[in-house]
Structure 1
Amino acid sequence: MENLKHKARKPLALSTIFLRYFMLLCGGMLLWLGLLIGTYLIATATGEILPANYVEKQIAAAKDILVSSPEIRPDQIPSLSDYALYTQEGQYVSGSLNREQAQKAWKAVASGSKGGIRGYYTVIQREQQQEVLLLSYSIVMNYRSEWLRTHLPNPELLGIILIVTGLLLQIALWSYLFGKKLAKKMKGLQSVIGKIQNQDLEFTVQSSGVHEIDTVLDSLDTMKNELKASLRQQWEEQQARREQISALAHDIKTPLTIIRGNAELLSETAQDEIQRDYNRYILTSSAQIERYARELIEISKTQEGLKLERVTIDTASLLEDIEELLRAAAVEKEIQVHMNAHNMPDFIAIDKDLFQRAILNVVMNAVEHTPIQGNITLTAEGKSDSVCFTVDDSGGGFTFADLREATKQFYMGDRSRSSGNHHGMGLYITQSIMLRHGGQLVLGNDEVLGGAKVTLEFPLS
């Protein structure tokens, strides 16, 4: 664990810490037992707790009186015992035992049993009075105080209860303290995990003082350093990509200037209607490309992304512009273009340039993967709270990998299906534009034409 900043003391094993708390538990129990035993000895010495044979001693001391007394009175009976007085024939005369209890006690005596109503008994023959006295009692420790005998269990049972209660309380106390200490030791680990989750990697791992936790912290520290290196490498790669994009955008300007200049010169020559349309396509597209290149350079420098400038535009005019872009892109491959519009509102609030760029990216992708003399359908549909533009083509459609990855930056897809005329930015930029409009880009495959199906949807509000 050389990566950790250790405290002065060597980290302890978790088993060692647990053993310490177990020893404290044992020590606490010994103290508790010592306290109970000391209390018992003091109470016995002062007579507050009576020994188990206390009643038998009292009976032995009072036996002569009980034998010779003309009449048995309750005050002559030793405390903590019950009695019954019989004739020599076993007829119940009197006593603290009721008649039913007295009969059971006499039968026990007659059968030779040593057990009485209270557990044990002693029989005293009063020959002069022709009577038999039976005393029933228990051989257990007891209290001298009547109140204690009434409200508390006997001392033996009370001792067991106090021992078990003390054990449970000690276990609860030391478990709580052990858990609290372990939680305190774990705070450093929880802090490190939280910082890594929040990508805050500028921290120093401190030793917890527990060997097992420090092992985990050491692993997290190693992971942190590797993650920092990975993020640094990723940042450097992103920087390189931005520089490449910026350089590419700058390089586009030179051939674009030549194309636009020649197109402007051509516009001054004698042309028929078709040639003028083609020339207009060239000029319009070169102007768009120039705006895109300028914006791409600005994005690479500022890293602020696309700036949305919504304006309310005429929907019919927008659809005409989109159809013109689509037909211009489809001319070379003689692709059949179909336009459909359903329930479209008269006006929509969008950033026209950005949205046309998004549509153009989807259209160019469809044209690229549609075979010569294939079909492309663009459907505009208005819903209750949104507008959808869907482009379907008769190309090969999206693969499972395309559906998952196509909107990621620099995704090129299957190069055998690609013309190589793009850099994997089209659908990524389109999705960014749709997100700026509060909408979404949905990729799928069309069941009718058999090719790709791309839907651009954004809310009306």
Structure 2
Amino acid sequence: MKQQSLVTQFRMTLVYIILSTLFVSMITYAAAAFLFVNALNKKSINPENHYEQQIPKVENYVHEEGAAVLSSRGQDKLKELVHGEGFFYQAADHSGNIMHGTYEEQIFDSQQKLYQRLNTTFHIKGFYVHVIPVIDHMGKINGAVSLVYKLNLPAVNNSSLWVSIASLFLISAPFFYMILFTILFSRNYAKKISHPLQVLADGSRQIKMKNLDFDIDYHAENELGELCTAFNEMKEELKQSLSAQWKLEQDRVEITEALAHDLKSPLSIIKAYSEALSDDTDVDEEQKQYLTVIEENIEKSVLLVNQMQYTSELESSGAGVVKGPVNLLEFLQRKIYDYDLQARRKNIKMILEIRNDEIPDTVITDVNKLERILDNILSNSLQYTPAGGKIRIFVKKHNQFIVYRISDTGMGFTSMDMEKAFERFYRGDEARQSQGGHSGLGLYIVKQLSELLGGSVKIENLSSGGACVSFSHSWQ
């Protein structure tokens, strides 16, 4: 069926269900007919007209006894001849009045109606009624004996339970077979459809896990086969596209590393010569000022080169995490002390708030990466916080994470910053750039390192004004 379309397969499945239902139903009816005939021959069950076959025997008795059948003596004999859950009698006089019998509802309410029904069979309230005239020895009609009976298997077999069940089964057999074969064939049909769908789902999961070295092993000349073939082709195109993209990315990383490495040497030479001029040469104040500007910009350039080199290392090798124990309180106090001189030069107050009751005495983390995260955030805050401002570092423990919230009283983030601040080489708007050049790698590095340490990072603006950077890392 792999060579057939899904519509054709569905139609064939429907045909198989109908044909199988008809075939098995015919076998069932044939078997039931055979068993029924065999049971009749062995007298195991009575035929539907069993009670009707007893009528001649009762007629002979009525004709022989005559008017005596209306008496109590005739009552006992009639009860003996007419018995069964679906077989009754009623003896009535010539006016239709009930004398005795097992059928209690009066059949005739007048002599005329009784005479009209003599030696006839009619239907009343689900029963057949055969009327036998009672004639005395003078040939006069004294009344009638009415035989009331049913013509169906349960009635003639005293409502045998197995007969009722068999009859019900024969009626419902086609519906039962229809349901059964629908389940069987539809399951088979669904299996043929679900297999390629499962293969496609597995392929999608492989792509999600960035694995393109797999093949969709399903081939058929139908819609699903075409879909699998198209999926394979898409995967190959994606593989080629990503391979080219990955190669370009690798080339970019290598070029960045090479550029950063090559820039270090000339920058070191320039720095050495500028220091030599400052220390060993008589220069006037204006020249000294020029040398100071040169040295400051060399320091900035070296910092930018180091950031570029570190970013390349992150992207190329993942910068493996080396965790170890660290006293977080002592570490943060030392880090604040390192930036205290730079903050005091701008009259910026740095405030460290730690919930000591929540922070563990010892935290297990990569202290070098944590220090680099804080250096990037604090240096940005110091750069963009105006003189006389504040920088607040708030630290707390939340579940399995240490959460840091570093806020300042600067200009805050623009809407473009909020959208692109974590992108590589994003440098912000002109207003922020005018306060000092930067590589646009600071928050990008913060994001990469926070995720390496099992945490995350986000930025926001405070309602009172100023920027806020929050990041977290696991503490064990």
Please give the alpha-carbon distance, in whole angstroms, between the structure 1 residues aligned to 2:223 and 2:234.
Answer: 17
Matches within 5 A, 1:169-180: 169-180=177-188
Distance 1:440 1:260, change over 3 A: farther
Aligned position for 1:193: 201
Deviation, structure 1 residue 361 = 2.5
Give secondary structure in 2 for the equivalent of 1:204: coil
Aligned to 2:30: 38
Secondary structure at 1:378 match in 2:
strand
Q: Which amino acid aligns with 1:239?
A: Q
Closer, same or farther in 2 for the Cα pair 1:142/1:376, shift >3 Å?
same
Specify which structure has the bigger relative contact order, considering alpha-carbon pairs within 8 angstroms and separated by 6 or more residues.
1
What's the % identity of the aligned pairs? 21
User: When the two structures are superposed, what TM-score results if normalisation uses the length of structure 2?
Assistant: 0.73
Q: 1:197 to 1:452 in 2, by over 3 A?
A: same
Aligned to 1:236: 247
**Aligned residue pairs, count:** 434
Q: Render the CA deviation track for 1:314-373: whole Å, top value 9, x for unaligned.
A: 544321212335567xxxxxx552322335869986766544533342345446656xx6
**Alpha-carbon displacement from aligned partner over 1:25-53 (angstroms, at most 9, x marks no partner):** 22233233423443454434745665554
- Deviation readout 1:362-399 (Å, 9 max, x if unpaired): 345446656xx666532233446746351424235231
1:433 maps to 449
The amino acid across from 1:20 in the alignment is M
SS class of match (1:198): helix
Matches within 5 A, 1:245-394: 245-262=256-273, 264-265=275-276, 268=279, 295=310, 298-299=313-314, 302-305=317-320, 307=322, 311-312=326-327, 313=330, 315-326=332-343, 336-343=347-354, 354-366=369-381, 376-383=389-396, 386=402, 388=404, 390-394=406-410
1:134, distance to aligned residue in structure 2 (A): 1.2
> 1:337·1:375 contact (CA, 8 Å) conserved in 2?
yes
Cα distance in 2, alignment partners of residues 357 and 279 from structure 1: 26
The match for 1:76 among 57, 72, 81 is 81
Structure 2 CA distance for aligned equivalents of residues 150 and 387 of structure 1: 81
Q: Which runs of 5+ in 2 are unaligned?
A: none
Q: Following the alignment from structure 1 to structure 2, what is the Cα–Cα distance between the partners of residues 31 and 61?
A: 44
SS of corresponding position for 1:203: coil
Tell me if the contact between 2:450 and 2:473 (Cα under 8 Å) persists in the aligned partners. Answer: yes
Deviation (angstroms), 1:116: 3.9
Query: What secondary structure does 1:443 align onto?
Result: strand
Partner of 1:5: none
Partner of 1:29: 21
Per the TM alignment, residue 279 of structure 1 is displaced from its structure 2 partner at its CA by 11
Matched, 1:55 2:51: yes
After TM superposition, give the deviation of residue 243 of structure 1 in Å: 1.4
* Kept in 1: contact 2:87–2:147 (CA 8 A): yes
Instruction: Please state whether the residue corresponding to 2:215 is helix, strand or coil.
Output: coil
Q: Distance in 1 between matches of 2:131 and 2:309?
A: 122
Q: What is the match of residue 140 of structure 1?
A: 152
2:393 and 2:404 in contact (8 A); partners too: yes
* 2:60 paired residue number: 64
Cα deviation for residue 246 of structure 1 reads 0.6
User: Distance between the aligned counterparts of 1:108 and 1:444, measured in 2?
Assistant: 105
* Code of the aligned partner of 1:138: K
Instruction: Spell out, residue by residue over 1:90-139, the C-alpha distance to the aligned partner (whole angstroms, 9 max, x if none).
Output: 44333233xxx2x4334499487944466121111112173421110123
Which of 144, 160, 185 is residue 150 of structure 1 equivalent to? 160
State the alpha-carbon separation in 2 of the partners of residues 268 and 64 from structure 1.
Answer: 152
Distance 1:301 1:206, change over 3 A: closer
Consecutive unaligned residues of structure 1, counting only runs of 5 or more, are 1-8, 329-334
* Higher mean C-alpha deviation, range 281-290 or range 190-199: 281-290
Matches within 5 A, 1:85-100: 85-97=91-103
Aligned amino acid, residue 457 of structure 2: L
CA distance in 1, matches of 2:323, 2:249: 24
Letter in 2 for 1:320: Y
2:135 aligns with: 127
Structure 1 Cα separation of the partners of residues 271 and 220 of structure 2: 73
Q: CA deviation at 1:82?
A: 0.9
Residue aligned with 1:105, SS:
coil
Deviation at 1:261, TM superposition (A): 1.8
Q: Distance in 1 between matches of 2:94 and 2:405?
A: 119
Contact 2:89 2:145 in 1 (8 A): yes
